[in-house]
Chains A and B, each alone.
Chain A
């Protein structure tokens, strides 16, 4: 304990940066020796300002008759600028926020995570991707479904005007990849949200109560897991009308069993720990023990499973889209853009390559983050420090 858990203490010793530094986003962090964070915030702010200038026309029309996604984009833009600036200010106001002598497990995990370069790269990719998705209306002058003169714009190779070329209808592929990311990412996040919530609840109940509850729930899990997943998905979707909502619900409802198993096994060992018995000896009710004392202790593995799960779901969704079982054209998703370009692979490689790259980069990013989180959140690994 004496060496303060190996956590950074320099923030406590270094002098406060001058207040004027707060004017420039990221500068306070830069002055305190946190170059990467500082430069990132600066770059973020610079990008946002550039975007505001370049897309000033679009921003102006947003105030007049903006669509909902334009408003979201505007709020994201302003929010990102505020965050870039605010983080620097926070660093001045509360020098060494984590250095007040108390380190929660989360703070310690974040410290470990930051040391993992690849995981940090993954995190950067994810943040950029999410921002780009939200800012899509300002990043591209085209609409995702817009095509005017097919004959003149069909299958144009990548150029400055069309960064990723155009498809067989003359639509801008870059635009469609950006808008497709919305579908892919939101399916990923929401479906994972559903599945980890269900999985944690069911796994925790199963593990804590044991006995009949455990047997019934776990046999149900076994049953779900024993179905070939893709066949089950295709069967359900084929029975009903394919739509984004359906895909989210079906993925969410079929992927929870693996989370439930992870949570259950963790809970089985946790409930034998004395703090759970101590909580019971203090007169706490079962739901409170589960949610306050057990669930926070299994969040580590759950978060890891969720992060890896998002990558997995994006892949599954792309596969389903490719098979025409998910998002229906003309709404773009990464899978159906690839499907649309499949026949023209030789004439127009760009139609399939760029969304394919987007899938690869995204899935790798999420897997890197997941690996980093696993190492950072595993208490067994922490013991070695």
Chain B
């Protein structure tokens, strides 16, 4: 733990400055990523997962802005104030990213091979022939049959799952140290989802890279990740491990998410949902940002914002300070028993 982490994010704040004041999409997110580790980021739509990932690569468009005192360090090197040219060197080379929608992530006018080769030529300065060879190698690596033939395919000649494989191949072509996977399986069929997850897990082991895996699906994340952070309202509300988060969720939001996963063995009951929806990020409630939706809410939550303690297992919740309230607050037991 004392070693410098591969990637460390500290107090990352990304605001979108509009006419109605700043929209605080990411508001003080901190986490660290060790080499070879998989970190899962979970949260529902609009909680700031994607913006946080884009901020690491500094790809947030105007009017989005990474606020001062935010820090993103790759091997100790600060990225938030690095020159744009340095960032281009890092993108795709040291930190790669794959996106949610495989149908639109590839340029329809170029062959998939030339799109993979492009990154290789850019970062490695390879010759056209070498880059093509690398593209074929990558297509083979991500499990595309007949890579020598497929390399000249256009994106529309491939299925969604195949395209996502190509995207992964493209992202990994320059052996990045970190892969950011932003909901890479959300747009795919369940069976294909499983294949892509297996592929990512296997490649990660084989190539020894670190991965940030973003999803709204706690089940998928806990399958692939070592550690998990849960985001709500632009903040990290819980930091945990993949096992622990299922067995002993600490934050009421995590608890609510677990309870809203359907369980096959349990009959008849209506699926529980977290009441309400994520409030607008330019009007976070005073106090704890989750309090309007929290079953355990009491006065303190409405006035004072809890902080996130340091440590592997932590939750941004007053229950951590007053655990006895958990028993009285909600009638139903947390889902650890429901499993």
B260 contacts chain A at the CB level, 8 A cutoff: no
- A274 B99 Cβ-Cβ under 8 A: yes
- A103 B154 Cβ-Cβ under 8 A: yes
- B170 A278 Cβ-Cβ under 8 A: yes
Q: How far is the CA of A211 from the CA of B99 in the complex (A)?
A: 26
- B88 A283 Cβ-Cβ under 8 A: yes
Q: Which residues of B contact A102 (CB under 8 A)?
A: 111, 152-154, 157
B122-147 with Cβ < 8 A to chain A: 122-123
Contact indicator per residue, chain A 264-294, by CB within 8 Å of chain B (1) or not (0): 0000000001110111111111000000110
- Which of B98, B152, B156 has the most CB atoms of chain A within a 10 A radius of its CB? B156
User: B62: which of A211, A273, A283 is its contact (CB, 8 Å)?
Assistant: A211
A104 contacts chain B at the CB level, 8 A cutoff: yes
- A281 B154 Cβ-Cβ under 8 A: no
Q: How far is the CA of A1 from the CA of B123 in the complex (A)?
A: 33
Task: Looking at the assembled complex, report how far the CB atom of A206 sits from the nearest CB atom of chain B, in whole angstroms.
Answer: 15
- B149 A1 Cβ-Cβ under 8 A: no
**Count, A-B residue pairs, CB within 8 A:** 88
B58-90 with Cβ < 8 A to chain A: 59, 62, 87-90
Q: How far is the CA of A102 from the CA of B159 in the complex (A)?
A: 14
Closest to A289 in B: B107
- Which of A1, A274, A279 has the most CB atoms of chain B within a 10 A radius of its CB? A274
Q: How far is the CA of A274 from the CA of B54 in the complex (A)?
A: 13
Task: Looking at the assembled complex, report how far the CB atom of A266 sits from the nearest CB atom of chain B, in whole angstroms.
Answer: 13
Known: A101-B149, A105-B108. A283 touches B154 (CB 8 A): no
User: B92: which of A5, A104, A210, A281 is its contact (CB, 8 Å)?
Assistant: A281
- A105 B89 Cβ-Cβ under 8 A: no
Q: How far is the CA of A282 from the CA of B109 in the complex (A)?
A: 18
Interface size class of A (residues with CB under 8 A): 20 to 34
A116-165 with Cβ < 8 A to chain B: none
Task: Looking at the assembled complex, report how far the CB atom of B64 sits from the nearest CB atom of chain A, in whole angstroms.
Answer: 13
Task: Looking at the assembled complex, report how far the CB atom of A81 sits from the nearest CB atom of chain B, in whole angstroms.
Answer: 33
B93 contacts chain A at the CB level, 8 A cutoff: yes
B226 contacts chain A at the CB level, 8 A cutoff: no
A296 contacts chain B at the CB level, 8 A cutoff: yes
Q: Which residues of A contact B175 (CB under 8 A)?
A: none
Closest to B159 in A: A1
Known: A102-B157, A105-B154. A280 touches B109 (CB 8 A): no
Q: How far is the CA of A102 from the CA of B96 in the complex (A)?
A: 28
- A282 B91 Cβ-Cβ under 8 A: yes
Q: Which residues of A contact B27 (CB under 8 A)?
A: none
What is the interface size of chain B, counting residues whose CB is below 8 A from a CB of the partner? 39
Q: Which residues of A contact B88 (CB under 8 A)?
A: 283-285
Q: Which residues of A contact B110 (CB under 8 A)?
A: 292, 296
B238 contacts chain A at the CB level, 8 A cutoff: no
Closest to B87 in A: A283
B57 contacts chain A at the CB level, 8 A cutoff: yes
Q: How far is the CA of A5 from the CA of B99 in the complex (A)?
A: 27
Q: How far is the CA of A210 from the CA of B63 in the complex (A)?
A: 11
Q: How far is the CA of A133 from the CA of B83 in the complex (A)?
A: 56
User: A1: which of B118, B157, B167 is its contact (CB, 8 Å)?
Assistant: B157
- Which of A5, A281, A379 has the most CB atoms of chain B within a 10 A radius of its CB? A281
Known: A283-B122, A296-B109. A274 touches B97 (CB 8 A): no
- B111 A275 Cβ-Cβ under 8 A: no
- B106 A275 Cβ-Cβ under 8 A: yes
Contact indicator per residue, chain A 1-18, by CB within 8 Å of chain B (1) or not (0): 100010000000000000
Closest to A294 in B: B107
Q: Which residues of B contact A274 (CB under 8 A)?
A: 99-101, 104-105
Q: How far is the CA of A285 from the CA of B122 in the complex (A)?
A: 10
Q: Which residues of A contact B101 (CB under 8 A)?
A: 274
Known: A1-B157, A102-B157, A274-B99. A280 touches B91 (CB 8 A): yes
A297 contacts chain B at the CB level, 8 A cutoff: yes
B258 contacts chain A at the CB level, 8 A cutoff: no
Contact indicator per residue, chain B 176-207, by CB within 8 Å of chain A (1) or not (0): 00000000000000000000000000000000
- B111 A283 Cβ-Cβ under 8 A: no
User: A283: which of B92, B157, B167 is its contact (CB, 8 Å)?
Assistant: B92
Known: A278-B167, A293-B107, A296-B109. A284 touches B122 (CB 8 A): yes
Please name 6 pairs of A and B residues whose Cβ atoms are closer than 8 Å in the assembled complex, sorted by A. Answer: A274-B99, A278-B167, A280-B91, A282-B91, A282-B171, A283-B91
Q: Which 5 pairs show the lowest CB-CB distances between chains A and B? A: A282-B92, A283-B91, A283-B92, A281-B97, A283-B88
A1-B158, A277-B59, A281-B92 given; name 12 further pairs at CB < 8 Å. A5-B157, A101-B153, A103-B154, A105-B154, A211-B62, A280-B91, A281-B91, A282-B92, A282-B119, A283-B123, A296-B109, A296-B110
